[in-house]
Structure 1
Amino acid sequence: MERRSELGGFLRTRRARLCPEDVGLPDYGGQRRVPGLRREELAQLAGVSAGYYTRLEQGQSPNASDAVLDAVARVLQLDEAERAHLHSLARPKPTSRRRPRPEQLRPGVQILIDSFGSVPALVLGRYSDVLSWNRAAHALIAGHLPFDAPSQPRQRPNICRLVFLDEHTRELYADWRAKARDTVADLRLTAGRYPDDPVLTELIGELTVKSTEFASLWAAHPVHPCVPKHARDFRHPLVGSMTLYNELLELSLADGQRLAVFTAEPGSASAAALQLLADLSAEQETPVRRNTFSSLKRQQ
Structure 2
Amino acid sequence: MDGQLDRRAELSEFLRTRRARLKPEEVGLPSFGRHRRVPGLRREELAQLAGMSVAYYTRLEQGNGRNVSAEVLDAIACALRLSDAEHAHLLDLAKPKRQKKKAVARPQQVRVGLLQLLESVDTVPAYVSGRRSDILAWNRLASALFGDWGQLPPAERNWARLVFLNPGYRDLFVDWDRKASDMVSFLRMDAGRHPDDPRLSALVGELSVKSEEFRRLWATHDVKEKSHGAKRIRHPLVGELTLSFETFRLVDDADQSFVTYHAEPGSPSAEALRLLASWGADAVTSLPA
1 CA distance for matches of 2:63 and 2:45? Answer: 19
C-alpha displacement at 1:96, in angstroms?
A: 4.4
Give structure 1 stretches of 5+ with no counterpart: none
Find out whether 1:28 has 2:27 as its counterpart: no
Find out whether 1:4 has 2:8 as its counterpart: yes
The question of whether the paired residues in 2 share the 8 Å contact of 1:125 and 1:131 is answered with yes
Q: Deviations over 1:12-57 (max 9, x none)?
A: 1111111111111122233322200000111111111111101101
Cα distance 1:188–1:246, how it changes in 2: closer, same or farther (>3 A)?
A: same
2 CA distance for matches of 1:37 and 1:64? Answer: 22
C-alpha displacement at 1:92, in angstroms?
A: 1.3
SS at match of 2:40: coil
SS at match of 2:253: coil
Alignment of 1:1-300 (within 5 A): 1-97=5-101, 100-143=105-148, 145-146=149-150, 149=152, 153-155=154-156, 157-229=157-229, 231-280=230-279, 282-283=280-281
SS at match of 1:181: helix
2 CA distance for matches of 1:188 and 1:92? Answer: 15
Runs of 4 or more consecutive aligned structure 1 residues displaced over 6 Å after TM superposition: none
C-alpha displacement at 1:284, in angstroms?
A: 6.9
- The count of corresponding residues between Structure 1 and Structure 2 is 284
- Which residue identity is paired with 1:10? F
Q: Deviations over 1:244-291 (max 9, x none)?
A: 0111101222240100101000111000111112223x1378xxx86x
- TM-score calculated relative to the size of structure 2: 0.92
2 CA distance for matches of 1:216 and 1:166? Answer: 18
The question of whether the paired residues in 1 share the 8 Å contact of 2:227 and 2:248 is answered with no
- Which residue identity is paired with 1:249? F
- Which residue identity is paired with 2:66? P
- Which residue identity is paired with 1:169? Y
- Which range is displaced more, 105-114 or 121-130? 121-130
Cα distance 1:173–1:226, how it changes in 2: closer, same or farther (>3 A)?
A: same
Q: Deviations over 1:197-228 (max 9, x none)?
A: 11111111111111110110010011110334
C-alpha displacement at 1:133, in angstroms?
A: 0.7
- Which residue identity is paired with 1:119? V
SS at match of 2:191: helix
Query: What is the root-mean-square deviation in Å for CA atoms of aligned residues?
Result: 1.9
Give structure 2 stretches of 5+ with no counterpart: none
Q: Deviations over 1:166-207 (max 9, x none)?
A: 122111110100111111111111111111111111111111
Q: Deviations over 1:110-142 (max 9, x none)?
A: 001011113111111122111111110011112
- TM-score calculated relative to the size of structure 1: 0.89
Choose between structure 1 and 2 for higher RCO, CA contacts under 8 A separated by at least 6 residues.
2
- Which residue identity is paired with 1:68? V
Cα distance 1:97–1:201, how it changes in 2: closer, same or farther (>3 A)?
A: farther
SS at match of 1:223: coil
